[in-house]
Chains A and B, each alone.
Chain A
Amino acid sequence: MTKNKAALLCGILFGLGLTISQMSNPDKVLAFLDVTGNWDPSLAFVMGGALITLATLQHFILKSPQPICDTKFHLPKTNDIIDKRLIFRAIIFGIGWGLVGFCPGAVLAAFGDGKFEPFSFMLACVGGMVLFNIFHEKNNQSRFKDVPP
């Protein structure tokens, strides 16, 4: 198994998970966020299923010294730093998410629908990322710095 083949397999599973759980449907996501309306708690079950599965498997995976195709686990080291920036940024993301119901993973899964809307969202999303890179470069930071969540 090479890195690329492993990533392809994982991507396929992720895409199936998003479509089976209907998270690629923005109305389903908005129905979860609409707690005072006709509330649909499905998204909580998606998160629950993902968290239980990942936390259990990861407990065993991280006991080995290194992953199969790489020399080390690339884990974020800033797990306990909460700053104003993180919250400010989460607010920007939250407004965007609440307006339409698309997030980056869900919108990619929605490409399969063959409709125009997911593409315009994705283009704007990449535009937002480019905007961030320009903004970030002005602050003398590396452009393609690998920052996992």
Chain B
Amino acid sequence: MENFTPYSAFLGGSLIGLSAALLMYFNGRVAGISGMIAGSFDYKNSENHWRLFFLGGLILAAMFFNLFVPHAAVTYSRSTLLLIISGVLVGFGTRLGNGCTSGHAVCGMARLSIRSIAATVAFMAVAILTVFITRHLLGIL
């Protein structure tokens, strides 16, 4: 557990919670990222523009952080093929399941939505199993 970073994790998590609370306070919307991405497809409808502003702000803040705040470099060990397979599964699964990590595991669980708790438990268990199989049983990833 030498990589455990409880303080920055809790601080970052609190900022995510604050962001979701403010979005509910101002716009009355749930901060589900996959829903915002899917909703942005229909960008001609000005009712959807807030989604693009949120996603733009997210990317800008991350770019700013990466440029000006010293941090350890991230390396990606996965092949492009695996990234594509994983991306399609995540994209398809989030729309099919009406939500991803931000929507179900944060916003839904904070409202004690039974549906979101079930979805979070299910996808977390499957993800843990996936890592166990690929990393320890097969030893390929």
Contacts and interface: CB of A to CB of B under 8 A. Distances in A.
The main secondary structure of chain A at its interface with chain B is: helix
B61 A54 contact: no
A78 B2 CA distance: 41
The main secondary structure of chain B at its interface with chain A is: helix
A149 B20 CA distance: 13
Contacts of A10: 19-20, 22-23, 26, 31, 54, 57
Interface residues of A, number: 119
Most chain A beta-carbon neighbours within 10 Å: one of B42, B74, B91, B99? B91
A138 interface: no
Interface string A28-48: 101101111111111101111
A108 B2 CA distance: 27
B25 A17 contact: no
Nearest to B64: A112
A80 B63 contact: no
A149 B65 contact: no
A80 B19 CA distance: 25
A120 B82 CA distance: 10
A3 B27 contact: yes
A52 B57 contact: no
Given A7-B54, A10-B54, A144-B41, A40 B35 contact: no
Interface of B: 1-6, 8-35, 37-39, 41-42, 49-51, 53-67, 69, 71, 74-78, 80, 82-111, 113-116, 118-120, 122-132, 134-136, 141
Interface of A: 1, 3-28, 30-31, 33-43, 45-55, 57-58, 61-62, 66-70, 72-76, 78-82, 85-100, 102-106, 108-115, 117, 120-129, 131-133, 136, 144, 146-149
